[in-house]
Amino acid sequence: MNTIKVSLAFAQMSDADLSAFTQNVIDSLTGNAGFPTPAVSEANLTTALTAFDDALAAAAQGRPQETAAKNTARAALVALLRQEAYYVQSAASDDLAKLLSSGFNRISTNRAQSQLVVPVIVGIDNEMSTQLVVHLQPVANARAYEAQVKNGTGGFQPAGTFTQARRLVLTGLTPGQTYTVQARAVGGSTGYSDWSDPVSHMAM
């Protein structure tokens, strides 16, 4: 019997975080030799994600029929993710590193307080001058995400609190300067995760 279990908490994520989480699972499983025969193919999971994203965009209009369609597409996507999660748990057995390489998170069987998973910065973009847009891998049970930045040899400074992992917009930066960014998850039983590994990027 496996002692390491795959977390199914993605079912409680916000719509935006569920979309980002699913894309990360697709990216992580594609070509992953540890999971050669996934329960749900990359093509089928991608199709379900596209349908959900399209329905989510349409639901922004606020009409009941679009919202209902979005909820249906979300339920279908979550059902496929559950199938994939059970496959990952079986294939990974008790190999935590292998499990995490799938893009899924683990759930602790310890009844003691457990700290949130450390978020991973998967990318930083320049969308507007004086800004950096940070993209994180969503963390199950996180209510929000905090970011901090530093320039040069100075210390880290708070850069804001954000509700969506996929888009942390850091403002007030100096064009041409390279900033080091870290993020942490907020929530869970211990309040905060550890800070992520630092990533550097130049503001434009």
CA distances from 70 to 25, 49, 54, 55, 58 (A): 20, 11, 8, 5, 8
pLDDT per residue, tens digit, the chain (204 aa), is 567 889 888 988 888 889 999 999 999 999 999 999 999 999 999 999 999 999 999 998 888 899 999 999 999 999 999 999 999 999 999 898 999 999 998 875 544 455 788 999 999 999 999 999 999 999 988 889 999 999 977 789 999 999 999 999 999 999 999 999 999 999 866 688 889 999 999 999
The per-residue pLDDT for 159 is 93
Predicted local distance difference test score (pLDDT) of residue 116: 85
Any idea where the domains of the chain sit in the sequence? 5-107, 121-202
Q: Identify the CATH assignment for 121-202 out of 2.60.40.1120, 3.30.930.10, 2.60.40.10, 1.10.486.10.
A: 2.60.40.10
162 beta partners: 145
* Per-residue model confidence (pLDDT) at position 69: 93
CA distance 11 to 18: 8
DSSP E strands in the chain: the ranges are 5-6, 106-107, 121-125, 132-136, 142-151, 157-162, 168-170, 178-187, 191-192, 199-202
What is the pLDDT at residue 111?
46
Residue 145: per-residue pLDDT: 93
The enclosing H or E element of 114 equals none
pLDDT of residue 112: 46
pLDDT of residue 108: 56
**Coil, strand or helix at 155:** coil
> 6 and 89 in contact (C-beta within 8 Å)?
yes
**What pTM value is reported for the model?**
0.59
